[in-house]
Structures are given as C-alpha cells and as structure tokens.
Structure 1
C-alpha cells in the first residue's frame, strides 16, 4: 500500500487491514479493489459535499428556519471539522485547502458578477451573490489531490521546474478574469501546459504494484470527473449557467478546457505541500 509515513492514523489502520484482507483475492482483483477504495477515500470530502447538495435539493423543506444555502455552509464546515478531528488531513494540507477555498471564492465573486453563472438566492452566509459553500467545492478538489498524493505515494519523472509551473498557473488564474475584457488566451495556456508536462509521467502505488501514466492524461481524467460532478450540481439546482435558465441540459464539453486548466493550478498549489519526488525507489 502507500508509504505509511505519509498516512494519517486512521489511514494506517485501514492500510494494515487491507494488507491482511486483500492477499486472499486474486492479484488482478486485489489491485482493482485497492485502486477503487483509495480513490473513493480520496474523494471523501467532495463526495460528501455532492451528496449534501443532492439531498438538500430533494428533501430540504422550503419553510425551514435556515436557508438551504446556509445549511450547506454549516454542513461543509462540519465535514471539514470532522476530517480534521478524525485526522484524515494534516495541518499542512489544511493550509492548502484553505488557499483553494480563498482562490475559488475570489473567482466565484467575479464570475457571478459578470454573469458567467448564478446561484439560487437566499441565506445570509454569502459574499455578494456567492454562497459561502461554493468555496468548499474548490476545497474539495484540493482535498482530493493532497489525499491522492499520500494514498498512492505519487512520484513523477521529468517533472518540470516548479518556477515555470507557477508562472503558467498564475497566468491561467489571471486569464479566468481578464478574458472578459481582453483576448482569451486559454488555448495558448493549454498548449503551454501540454509542452511543459509532455514528458512528465506519474507513478502511483496501488497495493503490490506500481503503475505509471502520463500526467496530462491524469489532468484530463480528473477534469472529466469534475465536469460530471458539475452536471450533477447544476441538475440539483445548486447553480446554473445562463444557457440553463430555460431548462437544464448538460454543461458543454468545452468546459473541460477550464477544468483542465484548473487542474494545472491545483497541482501547482499542492506541490507546496508535497514536493514532487522522483520514482527512484519504485519498481514497475
């Protein structure tokens, strides 16, 4: 399983349990189960947030004393506190998650102001038109990435110079704002990301085996699942794009470009907690 020095106390217990249980099943099934369990565990925060959004859209009473948006904020805070109390996240990781929250909320305030999307009104826990639970959705992305680093003991070959990735990530974030007023350079930024990470490969340890894949493919896969979650969130009415005001439909696939670029920002932020390490101790 993962490097136990990187695991939280509860994850160490679960890791030891898996060491005893998984060898009883065939090797291929064992690795498949371990991969799925680790991915689900890494998605815990995001999964709970998505479940809360769905549940409140279906069951939350209209005459409740607390507005639905405020209730989601309270739930998100409780989930985060619970993960800290259970030591599912470390203090350093919490700092990165808070940064994700701040960066995401800042972009949300601007994007709602220019009409890129809108949230259901109501409640008092908001900044402008942005309910405060929205920052936790960005924090969920940060939580997933930092937990994946630990659970899969991620290593990288040909990882680019971090100063270069920081410059590209900063340009991506700035473009999220400036493209409303000047030329949109997101395709140039996609090209820059592809060039910089083209040779980079990610090594991830499952249970007994270590596999490898291009980092760019990992960016695309995670971006796709964020797009799926976004469709669930809009279908639940947590927020809507202008084109969905007259009736819900799938979020355009072109949004994958934005989520791909968000992955670039996310990975750069997480490298300040988990410095990219080479696969010098791995045997694939």
Structure 2
C-alpha cells in the first residue's frame, strides 16, 4: 500500500511506451495521468493534506536537480513535450516525489519512530551539504564518499522503530538508507528501460545503470528522510502542544 504512487509511475511509463496516446505527447500524457493519480489518492484518503505538501516539496527539489543535471549533460529526455521546462518534462519531479510518498505512507502505516535522532542542526547541515554536492561536483572534487562517512558518524546511534500488527521491530537507519537506495536503483533501471530518460551510454541501446548510482540514491534518500522526519516531529510537537495548551516556538 505504501508503494501505490511509485507503482502508478512505473505502470504509466510501461504502458505509455507501448501504447501511443493520441493528440498528445507522451511526456504530457504521463504528467496528466500522475496528476490524476495524486488527486485520486488525496480525495480517497490514501494521502493526507500534509503528505501532499511534503510531496510538492520533493517535486520542486527534484525538478531543480533534474534541470541542472540535464543542462550539464548527465542525462536527457529526448522525446518532445509541451510540458518541458529547460529540457526537463514536469512529470520528472514526480519520480522524486514518489520517494516522499512512500516514506510518508510507510511512516504512517507502520507507525514508525526513531531513536537517537541527531537533531535539527546536524541533520539539516548534512542534508544541505549532500544536496549541494550534487551540483558542485561538476566544478570541484566530488565529496560523496566523505559525506557518506559523515552519514555513518552522524546517524550511527539512530534506529528506526516500526510496527507490524502487534510486533515492534527496529533497524539501523543507515541500513534502511542503503536498502531504499538499492531499490530505487533497481527502479531506475526499469524507468530507463521504458525511456523515462536516457543516460549518455543508453542512446544507442539500453544498458544497465552504473552501480555507482546506488551511492547517489543512498545520499538522496538521506535528504528525503531528513525532511520527512523533521516535518513529522514538527507536526507531533504541534499536536502535543494543542492538547496541552502550550505554544512551542519552532
């Protein structure tokens, strides 16, 4: 249930690669379909208003990163479309938003919590440095491995608590980062197979996405978790203060 939106994206990519939509470009059709899916999920109660806000944040973050990477030639969207901005179809932001959708859904469905969270300052500074490195490594050395080492230092005490029915389990947060990053890498191979986008070595024929991309997704997942976790904690504090009649300055 937590993967409904990601599955909808890959299903749309697969079907649109074999079924031609009349009177509209493929990229434009994908955008309209995914907007419809999001509307349905909100109206049906599968996603809350707060979760939609988080998804919108990720859509913007992802779209900005896509525009920069396409401009730098890291990958491309070769098909035409009316809803392309600086060479990037607007639907591409939903692929980042699908990660946020999954995290929000799984947090709520498995009643997740964390222990040993490093706090706002450390997590936000690390997340900001990771996001900035995606842009700056084209001009200065790539610090991803230094940042990866920092991740293990900052989050080495952080565990995820999640509940399946009446049983509570726990997992190191860094292990969860890797698992989700690996799954996204698998999804990326599916997406490029259906021509969602193309890396430079895939123009002639589809090839497996480089294993090095797992490290990129590992780091991107960290940004996602930091944003979702902080927003969840802010909401929990506001709810608690509403019940106690106190006002907390956030």
Aligned match of 1:138 in 96, 99, 102? 96
Establish whether residue 57 from structure 1 lines up as the match of residue 17 from structure 2: yes
> What is the distance in 1 between the residues matched to 2:85 and 2:75?
15
Q: Secondary structure at the match of 2:117?
A: coil
* Residue number in structure 1 paired with 2:245: none
- Corresponding position of 1:46: 6
Distance 1:208 1:102 in 2: 37
SS at match of 1:213: strand
Q: CA deviation at 1:246?
A: 2.2
Residue equivalent to 2:149 = 191
**Aligned match of 2:50:** 92
Task: Determine the C-alpha separation between the residues in 2 that align with 1:268 and 1:217.
Answer: 15
Supply the distance in 2 between the matched residues of 1:167 and 1:68 (Cα, whole angstroms): 39
RMSD: 1.2
Supply the distance in 2 between the matched residues of 1:49 and 1:258 (Cα, whole angstroms): 21
SS at match of 1:205: strand
Q: What is the TM-score of this pair, normalised by structure 2?
A: 0.91
Contact 2:120/2:230 (CA < 8 Å) preserved in 1?
Answer: no
Instruction: Look up the SS of the partner of 1:274 in the other structure.
Output: helix
Alignment partners' CA distance in 1, 2:42 and 2:113: 25
1:159 is displaced (CA, Å) by 1.4
CA distance in 1 between partners of 2:209 and 2:36 (Å): 30
Q: Distance in 2 between matches of 1:192 and 1:58?
A: 44
Give distance in 1, aligned partners of 2:45 and 2:78.
34
1:63-82 aligned within 5 A? 64-82=22-40
Flag the structure with more relative contact order, 1 or 2, with Cα contacts below 8 A and sequence separation at least 6.
1
Deviations 1:19-38 (A, max 9, x none): xxxxxxxxxxxxxxxxxxxx
Q: State how many pairs are aligned.
A: 235
Contact kept, 8 Å, 1:104 with 1:135, in 2: the verdict is yes
1:274 CA displacement = 1.1
Q: Deviations over 1:88-117 (max 9, x none)?
A: 111111111100000000000000001000
Residue pair 1:203, 1:213 contacting (<8 A) in 2 also: yes
CA–CA distance in structure 2, aligned partners of residues 153 and 189 of structure 1: 29
Structure 1 segments unaligned to the other structure (5+ residues): 1-40, 278-284
Are the equivalent residues in 2 in contact too, given 1:119–1:130 (CA < 8 A)? yes
TM-score (norm 1): 0.81
1:104 to 47, 62, 74: 62
Partner of 1:222: 180
- Whether 1:173 and 2:131 are equivalent positions in the alignment is yes
Query: For the Cα contact (< 8 Å) 1:120–1:239, is it kept in 2?
Result: yes
Alpha-carbon offset, residue 153 of structure 1: 0.7
Q: How far apart are residue 71 of structure 1 and its match?
A: 0.1
Q: Indicate conservation of the 8 Å contact 1:43/1:144, yes or no.
A: yes
Look up the SS of the partner of 1:212 in the other structure. Answer: strand
Deviations 1:109-159 (A, max 9, x none): 000001000113211011011001100111101100011110111111211
